[in-house]
Structure 1
Amino acid sequence: MGCVSKQFRARGQPARKNERAGILRLWTVTEPWGPEGLTLDETADPMPGRGEVRVRLRAASLNYRDLLIVRGRHVGGALKHGAPIIPIGDGCGVIDMVGEGVEQHQIGDRVIPLMVPNWRSGPVSPAKMAGALGLHSPGLARELAVFPERHLIKAPSYLSDSEAACLACAALTAWSALFEGPGLRPGDVAVIQGTGSVSLAVLQFAKAAGLRTIVTSSSDDKLASVLALGANHGINYRTVPNWAGAVRDLTDGVGADFVLDMGAVGSLSESLRAIRMEGQIAVVGILEGGSAIDPAQFLASAARIRGITVGSAEMFDAMVRALTHHEIHPVVGTVLPWTEAPAAFEMLSDGNQFGKIVLEF
């Protein structure tokens, strides 16, 4: 994708409609990494080929993986210097043009691009993870994008654009963590670390499934918010650092059936103390610092630990059916014009928000 100018920098640009026909705007980032390195570029409008559709973006939401990428790293470590990256993998838009041979979609359909489009079904593999939006292929921080029609899912009609833009990453990760492992039953206990977007989605799904939920956070205000969303218990890990003991107290000494672990310093060790024997721990986070495991503690718990990497198109379809049945609305905390992407990334970096940060076009 050849950019024709770099006249807009990261901060202070007002939101506006593009008045120049045939020109689209997009955010890119490369070295030096960081939100301050984001650049608002211009390039020619893309045109769909055979079997492709063009989507005009309406909303895109930020996830922690997007922040890592903008900072120049991801799960595999530091990103290598190369062509600029168009960030963000989670969004919603409307088809405004179709190529020849398109059968599943039509102009006017509201759709969600799959963040990992090559993972259709079955177990994950490196080949299926290749092509992830906002990392291996251009992301959604742009006004227009062209996709093969099979890379899109129709957005649930009851959701707003901002809500539909929250499904492809955080919500699908939550679904995969909770329902794609050993089966949980109504009444089982789920411990949810933190109040980030994945954690909030797990809370909503767990409530719909009849699970008993315990949420940990360092903020009493955020704990009050999750209790209002339906959490059964909240634990402030600042005032109760041995929160695993509190979980044991709340479960009559048995422990939790499921723990969502965010990968913070010491979190996995505490998760192993909180889990019942042969319970399951889903690790979804890679927060700064990491967590060491004591092999003796792991063996004593007999826990099943799974690393979660989003989910497949098949899982997405199942999640949308459940969302629609229960009319679950993703928690949106802040909505900004898409031209304020650098400020949105800085807000996500601060970690003080509750609910998703969404950019509207």
Structure 2
Amino acid sequence: MRSYHIDHIGDLDGLTVRNGDVPVPGPDEVRIEIAANSLNARDIGILLGGYGGPSPKPGLVPLSDGVGTIVAAGERVRGFSVGDRVAGIFRQNWLGGRMPLRALDSDLGGSRDGMLTESIVLTDENIVKVPAHLSDKEAATLPCAAVTAWHAIHAGEALLPGQSVLVLGSGGVSLFALQFAKHIGAHVIATTSTEEKAHALQALGADDVINYSATPEWDEEVMRITAGLGVDRVIEVGGAGTLARSMRAAAVTGRVVIIGVLAGGSQVDPSIILTRRLTLQAISTGSREMFEQMNAAITRWQLKPVIDTAFPFDEAKAAYRYAANGRHFGKVVISRP
């Protein structure tokens, strides 16, 4: 059995392939033969050393996102059978409700070995069945970015039809948030840096798109589009570099859901939080319960994730390199034949 491992961080050469024994599931476990994976910005940061937090353990198997078929199951496994297509949940042990402390160091591809392998063993409580209408490549995009977007759209008070949402950029979380918000019936404003991506965002359903390269004061443009009201919710993936503008783009009593730290940055004036009665809420992916709720909605809507490019398993380094350049629109996927 082949698996990729991070032998050292700082460059792509730290990613190497090893051969190992096929894992054997215990009584409460299943063995999954992985068919496809997808990459997230987090995965690039972990390999190149820019993600923050503790360094990964030597030899870590990377990637949180992977989908495959159960090929063996322990005698105490319930709710799953050989032949089911499943994905692992991002934070193992976060089944529902508030995230427990025991889930903090259980993230696949970070604290624990991840999914960039031909076969993996997981417990039955830490997997979910994936929507039947999705291909393996499409389903592989769900565990991290899609669940995070679902959480962001429903954080605190769930988004309602007719409300407005601002999504920043065209990364995986933002694209899923756009799709979810449109199916709910919200007005979506998106930002991007190129006209090509602007057209792609409009084709995906964005009602308004702001090119932040041409309009650096994009928060002012949001206010203009909304007739001075601002948006009800901001899906904030930039961090310090964009948070101040996101807050200025939010409506009175609006909610800014903070997810990422992709942009370096500036200080934030807290007075705007008080004057606009804003809610700032930080989230981290989501639980198994959220994953299952999202999958039910994806099935009901027959929603399809956006995939930019797929690479074969043997070319995982090329997939990392392509994803790291930041020019893709949609998910970068790694798949088996």
Gaps in structure 2 of 5+ consecutive residues: none
State which of 86, 89, 104 in structure 2 corresponds to 1:111.
86
Alignment partner of 1:355 is 2:330: yes
Paired residue for 1:281?
256
Q: What is the CA–CA distance in structure 2 between the aligned matches of 1:129 and 1:265, rounded to whole Å?
A: 23
Q: Deviations over 1:272-302 (max 9, x none)?
A: 1110111000111111414421122332232
**Most deviating of 137-146 and 125-134:** 125-134
Q: Is the 8 A contact 1:118 1:130 kept in 2?
A: no
Equivalent residue number for residue 26 of structure 1:
3
| Aligned residues of 1:30 and 1:72 also touching (Cα < 8 A) | no
Select 1:60's aligned residue among 5, 30, 37: 37
Look up the equivalent residue of 1:156 and give its one-letter code: P
Amino acid at match of 1:340: E
Please report how far the alpha carbon of residue 75 of structure 1 lies from its aligned counterpart in structure 2 after TM superposition. 4.4
AA paired with 1:243? W
Distance 1:40 1:268 in 2: 39
* 1:42 paired to 2:19: yes
The answer as to 2:64 corresponding to 1:89 is yes
Q: Over the residues paired in the alignment, what is the CA RMSD in angstroms?
A: 1.4
Larger Rg: 1
- Runs (4+) off by over 6 Å: none
Alpha-carbon contact 1:95-1:108 (below 8 Å) kept: yes
The one of 289, 292, 298 equivalent to 1:314 is: 289
Task: Pick from 203, 206, 217 the counterpart of residue 231 of structure 1.
Answer: 206
1:339 counterpart residue number:
314
TM-score using structure 2 length:
0.96
Q: Residue 216 of structure 2 aligns to a residue in which SS?
A: coil
CA distance in 2, matches of 1:295, 1:111: 44
Distance 2:175 2:2 in 1: 32
Residue 166 of structure 1 corresponds to 141
Secondary structure in 2 matching 1:44: coil
SS of match in other structure, 2:275: helix
Determine the structure 2 residue equivalent to 1:190. 165
Identity, % of aligned positions? 38
Counterpart residue number, 1:152: 127
Q: Secondary structure at the match of 1:53?
A: strand
Structure 1 Cα separation of the partners of residues 78 and 281 of structure 2? 37
- Displacement of 1:71: 1.8
1:177-216 alignment, distance < 5 Å? 177-216=152-191
TM-score, scaled to structure 1: 0.90
- The aligned length equals 336
Aligned residue number for residue 51 of structure 2: 74
Q: Is the 8 A contact 2:239 2:258 kept in 1?
A: no
Query: Does structure 1 retain, via aligned residues, the 8 Å contact 2:258–2:283?
Result: yes
User: Retained in 2: the 8 A contact 1:263–1:291?
Assistant: no
Matches within 5 A, 1:264-275: 264=239, 266-275=241-250
Shift of 1:175: 0.2
- Which residue identity is paired with 1:140? M
Cα 1:125/1:263, change in 2 over 3 Å: farther
SS of aligned partner of 1:132: coil
